[in-house]
Structure 1
């Protein structure tokens, strides 16, 4: 018994019991969190209410952990020791931890609002996907910025000290951060001016891609091969690119076909128009009648009379852009065969000249 008391006295003098007690408290909070989650999973049948209960438990646990740590470490001198002076403000470990905590809470709060609250607002006002992404990004920026400013002012941080930081940042930008800041500001301009937005179909260096996400520094686009391209935001303000969805989501599709020289050109034109009309009525209701399809007798080719048809679809998707022209070619092939209209292929006539051998 004396040996045990001796060990306890030694641990107490070394400060180990203090930290072991703190760790035991943390473990207890996490165990209670795990139990509450399991109880909620068993008692709550609705999936939606399970998600809400899980979020409530997580948020409550985070709050309890922070309050517990701050109260438990309140008598710890090193937590409030000055690391350095920023302007007129003493920066301590407590200040840094408090700001980090506020930032994490602000980010989680904004993510929760974006996930559970804003979608109902968007559906009510029928906002498009690009506008939703813009509002989501701006909302998160504003929430985090306000949270940091409120936290700093509440903790006694002199906000005028930020002028020192601004001057230091200005020097940093001049020596190597100009590219990062340029892309960040370009991202803000993109969000407000919207030369490109989430959901747009763009063409960059001949590659067709869909905009998936506009981040602080770069924009992520997905190609038709399901590859992701990471493009700096400044590219969309400084370089040329094609935005197919900028003002109109419609797309004009062109299909070419050649027929034999002895074909009835008026019948060919009629069959092409009938094929598009039937395709619209039977399968693809996305083919527009305004603007109406147009058939052109384009050229007298080497082996064929060349025709071209233009028609419009209501929205640009890979399925419509590729399958509709393919289905139209199938239908044209069947109609031309039914009316004995030949689709020729290149032919060459060879004339062999036999030369007599000299005697």
Structure 2
């Protein structure tokens, strides 16, 4: 018993010294990289991320090697084909998968942005490429990890058949949303950064994941929408192929107003707003539409074109301020609904004689 206790304390001391040593080595190496790559943010972050992975997983590798003679490390949990799945095999597969995940993160966050900036790719295409690269790397990592630990992939055919049945019955929605997500990434009817209208709610697409799409509304609320919705329902995409958007500002004036004066006022406001704000486009030119004769007003619409759909609310508000100010300046009345009530006297009530 005494020798066993001494051996356990020896293990603890050895492992502790190794952990402290590798952490100190990581700190020194990190300081060195920060100084050498001071002016290269992407390279510095990529190397620091890689060092972080090697630090923690290096400790795991050391533990595997150090306890390689221990029976608990090779205890069989279950079998796949002729391969006994042990803790050792699980840890090896985990190392491969985590390394692939870290490499995918480094590639997408620190290396590919230089490519995107050089070729001026839009935000949606960048997100699509990142997702595809991540999925490819992770699928390859899974296959490599399985073959590395000695699992014959043909032995998984039965499992794949059972999984297929499960998808067919209990996982239809998950499978449908996953496939829909792939279609969204490749066909791109919507993409990250697009402004969309869903059930009269305006929002921006923030993320397209494997199962659902995240849309952030103008009120900064996040809506989680299944991917299949975008392929099965009607969705308005204001940024699909042409980000330009026609903005319509309705206005009503009192009967008897000079309609040509109203037209000139609205066109002047549009020209002044275009000079003050570069988002308002020169072409197509602003247009005043006399829509008709309302119950209480002569109805007009001011059409202008803008280059950024995200600025609709701000520009429309600015135009309304300008229109109200100018109509007051020229004495043009903005009516409100009125109703005339006519009271008709009835016949006199005759009193009954007793």
**TM-score normalized by the length of structure 1:** 0.87
CA contact under 8 A between 1:22 and 1:72: conserved in structure 2?
no
Q: 1:127 aligns with which of 101, 107, 121?
A: 121
Conservation of the 8 A alpha-carbon contact between 1:33 and 1:58: no
Q: Give the direction of change, closer, same or farther, for the CA distance of 1:316–1:95 in structure 2 (3 Å limit).
A: same
Unaligned runs of 5+ in 2: none
Q: Which residue of 2 aligns with 1:322?
A: 313
The offset of 1:127, in angstroms, is: 0.8
Residues 1:132 and 1:267: Cα distance change in structure 2 (over 3 Å): same
Matched, 1:163 2:157: yes
> 1:89 maps to which residue?
83
Cα offset for 1:340? 2.6
Deviations 1:1-54 (A, max 9, x none): xxxxxx742414xx6336424542453245425643785599679373764564
Q: Which moved more, 1:37-46 or 1:225-234?
A: 37-46
Change (3 A) 1:35 1:311: closer
The within-5 A match list for 1:1-359 is: 8-12=2-6, 16-17=8-9, 19-21=11-13, 23-29=15-21, 31-33=23-25, 35-36=27-28, 46=38, 48=41, 51=45, 54-281=48-275, 283-317=276-310, 320-350=311-341
For 2:188 and 2:292, the matched residues in 1 are separated by 41
Closer/same/farther in 2, CA of residues 287 and 70 from structure 1, 3 Å limit: same
Q: CA deviation at 1:117?
A: 0.5
| Deviations 1:229-276, CA, capped at 9 Å, x for gaps | 111112222222222222221211111111222211111111111110
Instruction: Name the CA shift for 1:305/1:174 in 2 (closer, same or farther; >3 Å).
Output: closer
Distance verdict in 2 for CA 1:167–1:348, change over 3 Å: closer
- CA shift digits 1:104-153 (9 cap, x unpaired): 11111111111110111011111111100000011111111112222322
Bigger CA drift: 270-279 or 148-157?
148-157
* Residues 303 and 346 in structure 1, CA contact (< 8 A), matched pair in contact too: yes
3-state SS, counterpart of residue 264 of structure 2: helix
Q: Is the 8 A contact 1:40 1:50 kept in 2?
A: no
Taking structure 1 as reference, are residues 165 and 27 closer, same or farther at Cα in structure 2, changes over 3 Å only?
same
Determine the C-alpha separation between the residues in 1 that align with 2:195 and 2:156: 41
**Whole-angstrom CA distance in 1 between matches of 2:340 and 2:142:** 82
- What is the Cα-based RMSD across aligned positions, in Å? 2.7
CA contact (8 A) 1:296 1:309 kept: yes
Mapped to 2, the partners of 1:172 and 1:146 lie a distance apart of 24
Shift of 1:303: 2.4
Q: Which moved more, 1:190-199 or 1:233-242?
A: 233-242
After TM superposition, the structure 1 stretch with the greater mean CA deviation from structure 2, 42-51 or 338-347, is 42-51
Distance in 1 of aligned mates of 2:48 and 2:131: 25
The answer to whether the 8 A contact 1:33-1:57 is kept is no
**Are the aligned partners of 2:93 and 2:149 in contact in 1 as well (CA < 8 Å)?**
no
Q: Which moved more, 1:26-35 or 1:92-101?
A: 26-35
With normalisation by structure 2, the TM-score equals 0.88
Aligned residues: 348
